[in-house]
Amino acid sequence: MPVPMNAGQLASLVEQGIELVGTGDRADLRKRLDQTLRRLKDPSIRVIVVGEFKQGKSKLINALVNAPVCPVDDDIATSVPTVVRHGEPASAAILLPKAGTEPGDEAALERQPINLADLGAYVSERGNPGNIKKLVAAEVFLPRKVLAGGLTVIDTPGVGDWAPRTH
Ligand SMILES: Nc1nc2c(ncn2[C@@H]2O[C@H](COP(=O)(O)OP(=O)(O)O)[C@@H](O)[C@H]2O)c(=O)[nH]1
Ligand SMILES: [Mg+2]
């Protein structure tokens, strides 16, 4: 029968795994385990808002945090995942892959602060069509009670076959 484990026990298992691969030549496995450990130790609760285009995902998040942070449009609006979490004062940043790193490697991201008012220029189809700026994500920090307990809401571009044409 499977034995239920809490996050702390899982984290120590992953730490043991990291020790085991530490001396070998599996740098790829080491990276994955490091990433898993970071996520296990992250106390935030991540809610990813997914769905088809133009279903009100961004509007829902704006309503939740009571601020017009995620671009909302009658046309396709969101081009880059946007992570909305607690922080004071309100601020924003974009996450870019560091030059020469592999996609999907969380440790290889460069964070660039931006003006919160300029967020639309980075995460909307209007300002960044088809994510031509090649951003991995954007982050928004807001001093909101609803986020203070660790709730992190993630806005996403949308799924389905109504994708913006790239050619
Ligand atoms: N009437 C109505 N319109 C909505 C609602 N939610 C979103 N919209 C509109 O639907 C369009 C797409 O919304 P948006 O949040 O950008 O959708 P997303 O692509 O899923 O993020 C916008 O014009 C919104 O104003 C809603 O609950 N009621
Ligand atoms: Mg949207």
SS3 (DSSP) at 86: strand
> How confident is the model over 71-104, as pLDDT tens digits?
998 877 888 999 999 999 999 999 999 877 766 6
Rounded CA separation 40/43 (Å): 8
Give the residue, by CA position, lying nearest to ligand 1 atom 3.
56
> How confident is the model over 30-77, as pLDDT tens digits?
989 998 999 888 888 999 999 998 899 999 999 999 999 999 988 778
Q: Where are the beta strands (DSSP E) in 75-165?
A: 82-86, 91-97, 109-114, 137-142, 151-155
Ligand approaching nearest to the C-alpha of 76: 1
Q: What predicted TM-score, i.e. pTM, was given to this entire model?
A: 0.80
Please give the pLDDT value at position 106: 64
Ligand 1 lining (C-beta closer than 6 Å): 53-59, 72-74, 77-78, 158
Ligand approaching nearest to the C-alpha of 56: 1
How many other C-beta atoms lie within 10 A of the C-beta of residue 150? 12
Atom of ligand 1 nearest to the CA of 71: 16
